[in-house]
Amino acid sequence: MINLTYSNGIFFYLALCFCTIAILWARELWRNRAYSWKSNSRRVLNCPGCHISFIAPENTNVTRCPRCNSICFYRER
């Protein structure tokens, strides 16, 4: 039989909880890096009519809003 004092039991319980949290945290960091997407902030357009933000194709300066179908222009800032 294994001798386990009260203080050792609490230590192992806390160590197990800490290891579980550390593993879950590392998994979440890996998932964020693996499944995240990055957009070029220059091509995120905001429609002046309905105020929706959407991603435009890279090589276009004029596009249509997907919600209200109005023409949106890309302006350099």
Contacting residues for 67 by C-beta, under 8 A, at least 6 apart: 47, 50, 52
Render pLDDT for 29-55 as a digit per residue (tens, 0 to 9): 999 888 877 655 567 888 888 989 888
Give the whole-angstrom CA distance, residue 9 versus residue 3.
Answer: 10
Rounded to two decimals, the pTM is 0.49
Render pLDDT for 5-31 as a digit per residue (tens, 0 to 9): 999 999 999 999 999 999 999 999 999
